[in-house]
Structure 1
Amino acid sequence: MRFLFVHGTGVRRARHDVLFGRIRDRLSARFPQATVSSCYWGDRFGAELSAGAVSVPDMRRTRGAGEGIPAAAPPDVVAAEWLLLLTDPLCEVRVLAEAGWETTGGFTLPGVRSAGSEVLDLLAKLPPEPEETDELGALLRDTGLFGGFSGALEAVARSHEAARAGTNATEDGFARELATALARAVVADALSAAGPEADCTGDERDRLVELVVTRIGGDARMPGGRAAGVLGRLALRVTTQPVLNVWRGSITTGSSPFIGDILRYQARGEALRELLRARIAEEPGPTVVIGHSLGGIALVDLLALSAARGEPTPDVRLLVTVGSQAPFLHEMGALTGLAPGESLPGDFPRWLNIFDRQDILAFLAEPVFPGDSRVTDHEVSSGQPFIPCHSAYFKLDAVYDRIALAVAETG
C-alpha cells in the first residue's frame, strides 16, 4: 500500500518539505510497510503576482480591531479570543494599562519598583532567539514562529501599554495577571507575523504561552485573567473580516498566494490534474491519496473526470481531503469534475473529508452528496482560529487516527 500526499494552496518548497516530513513520519509510524510520497506542484503551477501586488489595496499590515464589527458568535470562545489577539496582540495588555487594578490598601514606596516592573524586566531579558535545546526554542521552530519571536518580544516589551500596565501592577497578584497578558501578546504577535506560514495547534500555542509566563514571573496555571474575560465577550462579536483585513496583503502576495493558487487552478487546472494522474500511476498497488485544501479539489476533479470518462484509477482505494473547498465549489456549480447537482460517478472511490469548523476554507461533503455511503465527514479541532487552523491539521493525532480507521474499513 502507498500514500500520496498533495499539498494545498499557498504552499511552496520550504513549507512543503516541513509539512510532508511530518506527514511521512506520522503515517510511517502507523503503516510501517507502506510507502509515503508526495506530489509537489507549487513552483510549477502556483500563482505569482507578476506586477508586484500593485492591485491590492493597502498592502501595509495594520493593527487594531477596527470599528463597525458586525455581530457573529463563533462557537469556540477560545478561538474567538485568539482571533481578537491575532488582530490586536496588545488588546489584553491595553485593558490592564487603562483600567488598572483596585488595590487592597497597599501602596508603593518612593524609589521601590512595582511588582509589574519586575515582570517587564524579566520580559526584556528573554533571549530573542532561544536555543534548540531549550523547549521554548524547539517549540518555536516546530511551529514556524521562531522567525517572528524576536520582533514580537521587542514590540510587546517596548510598548507604551506594557509600561503603563507594569507601573499599575503594584501587587504580586496583579503582576502575575500582567505576565499572562504579556505572554499571550508575544505569542499572538509571533503568530500574526507568521501568517499562513504558522504551523501551530492550539495546544502548542498554549504551551508557548505557559513557557513565556513562567519565565517572566507569572503562574502558568492562571487563565487569561480579567482582561481576557472582558475581551472574551467582545471576541464573540468578531467575525473573520477584521483579521482578514489585517492579513489581506500577506494573503494575496506571491509569498502567501492562498487565493491566487485557487483562481489559477480554476482557470488552468488540467496540467495539474495530469501531473497527479502520472504520479498515481508511477507505482502499482492500492493507493490512498490525501489532498490538503486545493490539493483535495484537484484530486476530486481528477477522480470524478476519470470515472465519468470510463477511465477510473482503480489503484486509488481511498480519497482523503483535509480542509478542502471541493464540496462548496460543487454546491456552487464551480467544481470542474462534476456538473452542478451531479452525483459522484459509480467508480469514484471512498471519500473521507476531514474539517475543522474554525477553518473557513473547510466544508462538509456528506450533505452535498446525500445518501452516498462512500462519503464521510469527520470533524477535528486544533483549538486555533482561522488562519492558523488551516495549517494545523497534520499535527493532530485525530487526523491520522481517522485515516487509519478509514484504511482499515476500506480493507
Structure 2
Amino acid sequence: MRFLFVHGTGVRRERHDQLFARISGRLTERFPKAAVSSCFWGEEFGAALSMGGRSIPGRSGTRGAGDELSAVSPPDREAAEWALLLADPCCELRVLAYLEADTKAGFSMPGVRPAGAEVLDLLGKLPSDPAEGDELGDLLRATGLEPYYAEALAAISASTEAARAGARAGQEPAARELAVAVARALVAAALAAADIDADCTGAERDRMVAVLTARLGGDARVPGGRAAAVLTKLAMRATTQPALNLWRGRLTESATPALGDILRYQARGEALREHLRGRITEDEGPSVLIGHSLGGVALVDLLAQSAARGEPVAGPRLLVTVGSQAPFLHELGALSGLPPGVARLPEGFPRWLNIYDRQDLLSFVAEPVFRDDPRVTDHEVSSRQPFPPSHSAYWKIDAVYDRIAGAVEELV
C-alpha cells in the first residue's frame, strides 16, 4: 500500500514541507511498510494577488446584535469566545477592569499595593524567548507561534487594559482571575499574529494558557470566572454577520490564499488534474489518496472525470478528503467532473472517506450530497479551534489518523 498526500489551498513550499513531515511520520507509525509521498503543487498552480489586494474593502464599523444562547453547544461557545479573543486579544482584560471598577471588592485598602500588581510584575519577568526544554518554549515551537510570541508579550505587557485591570484587582481572588485573563490575552495575541500559519490545536492552546497562568501566580486548574462568563456572552452576540462585516478586511486578507487558489483552480484546473494523474500513476500498486482542502477537490474532480469516461485512474482504492469543499462545490454545480444534481459517483470511483470539522468554514459533509452512494462516508473531528486555525489543525488530531487507519483496514 502507498499513500499520496495532496496539500490544500494557500500552501507554499515551506509550509508544505512542515505538513508533509508531520503527516508522513504519523502514517508511517501506523503503516511501517507503506510508501508515503506527496504532491506539491502550490507554487506552480497556486494563486497570487496581482494588484496587491486593491479589491478588498476596509473594515466596517457595524457591531453585532444579540441572539439566543440556549441552543448553542459548549464547543461552539468556546470557538466563538476564542474568535473574539483573536480579533481583540485584550477584550477580556477590558471586561475584567470594568467588573472590578463596578464592585468595592475589587479595591484594596488605601496605601496597600493591589494584589494585581504582583501579576503584572510576574508578567514583566517572563522571558521573551523561552529556552528549549522549557514547556512553554516547546509548545510555542510545536505550534508555530515562537516567531510571534515576543511581540505578543511586549504588546500585552504594555497594554493599558492590563495596567488598568491590574490596578483594580485589589484582592487575591481578583488577582487569580487576572492571571487567567492575561494568559489568555497573551496566547490570543500570538495566535492572531500567526494567523493561518498557526499550527495549534485547542488542547495545545489551553495548555499554553495553563502554563502562563501558573507562572503569573494564578491557579492553572481553575478557568476564568466573571470576565470569562461575560466574554462568552459577548462572543456569541458579536460573532454574527455584522461583526464579520466589522472584521471583513482582516478576514478577507487572511483567507485570500485559500480562496484564491480555489478560484484559480475553478478557472484553470485541468493542468493541476493532469499533474495529479501523473503522480498517482507513476508507481504501480494500490494506493490511498489523501487530499486536504483544494487538494481533495482536485482529486474528486480527476477521479470522477476519468471514471465517467470509462477510464478510471489506475491504483486508488481509497480517497480521503480532509477539510474539503468538494461536496459544497458539487451542490453548486461547480465541480467539473460531475454533472449538477447527481447523487451517485460514477462506477470506477474508489471508496471515499470525508473528514471534516464543523468549526472549519472550508469543510463540508459529503454523505447528504451523495446520498445514493454507499461508498461515501463522513467522519467528524474537532480541533476545538475557531476558523481559520481549525482548517490547519487536522494533522495534529489523533482521530484523523485513527479513522484513516480504520478505513484502510476495511479495504482488506
Q: C-alpha distance in 1, partners of 2:239/2:85?
A: 13
Alignment correspondent of 1:212: 212
For residue 353 of structure 2, what is the amino acid of its counterpart? L
For residue 68 of structure 1, what is the amino acid of its counterpart? G
| Runs of 5+ consecutive residues of structure 2 not aligned to the other structure | none
Q: Does 1:375 align with 2:371?
A: no
Q: C-alpha distance in 2, partners of 1:273/1:257?
A: 19
Contact persistence 1:297–1:324 (CA under 8 A): yes
Change (3 A) 1:284 1:386: same
1:67 to 54, 63, 72: 63
Contact persistence 2:351–2:376 (CA under 8 A): yes
For residue 266 of structure 1, what is the amino acid of its counterpart? Q
Contact persistence 2:367–2:376 (CA under 8 A): yes
TM-score by length of 1: 0.94
Q: C-alpha distance in 1, partners of 2:65/2:400?
A: 34
Deviations 1:207-235 (A, max 9, x none): 01011111111110111211110121222
Alignment correspondent of 1:3: 3
Contact persistence 2:331–2:369 (CA under 8 A): yes
Alignment correspondent of 1:134: 134
Contact persistence 2:330–2:340 (CA under 8 A): yes
SS at match of 1:378: strand
Contact persistence 1:86–1:192 (CA under 8 A): yes
Q: Does 1:325 align with 2:325?
A: yes
Q: C-alpha distance in 1, partners of 2:191/2:65?
A: 22
Contact persistence 1:354–1:377 (CA under 8 A): yes
Deviation at 1:278, TM superposition (A): 0.6
SS at match of 2:183: helix
Q: Does 1:394 align with 2:395?
A: yes
Q: Does 1:14 align with 2:14?
A: yes
Q: C-alpha distance in 2, partners of 1:308/1:376?
A: 21
| Runs of 5+ consecutive residues of structure 1 not aligned to the other structure | none
Change (3 A) 1:261 1:244: farther
Q: C-alpha distance in 2, partners of 1:66/1:94?
A: 20
Residue identity (%): 63
Deviation at 1:390, TM superposition (A): 0.7
Deviations 1:25-58 (A, max 9, x none): 1000000000111101111111011122222223
Q: C-alpha distance in 2, partners of 1:104/1:240?
A: 34
- Please, which moves more after superposition, 124-133 or 86-95? 124-133
Contact persistence 2:106–2:174 (CA under 8 A): no
Q: C-alpha distance in 2, partners of 1:385/1:266?
A: 27
Deviations 1:158-217 (A, max 9, x none): 111110110111111111100000100111111111111111110000001011111111
- Please, which moves more after superposition, 87-96 or 292-301? 87-96
Alignment correspondent of 1:50: 50
- Please, which moves more after superposition, 127-136 or 282-291? 127-136
Deviation at 1:371, TM superposition (A): 2.8
SS at match of 1:4: strand
Q: C-alpha distance in 2, partners of 1:325/1:223?
A: 36
1:350-361 counterparts in 2 under 5 A?
350-361=351-362
RMSD of aligned C-alpha atoms?
Answer: 2.0
Q: C-alpha distance in 1, partners of 2:345/2:48?
A: 33
Deviation at 1:236, TM superposition (A): 2.0
Alignment correspondent of 1:289: 289
Deviation at 1:86, TM superposition (A): 1.2
Change (3 A) 1:170 1:249: closer
Alignment correspondent of 1:365: 366
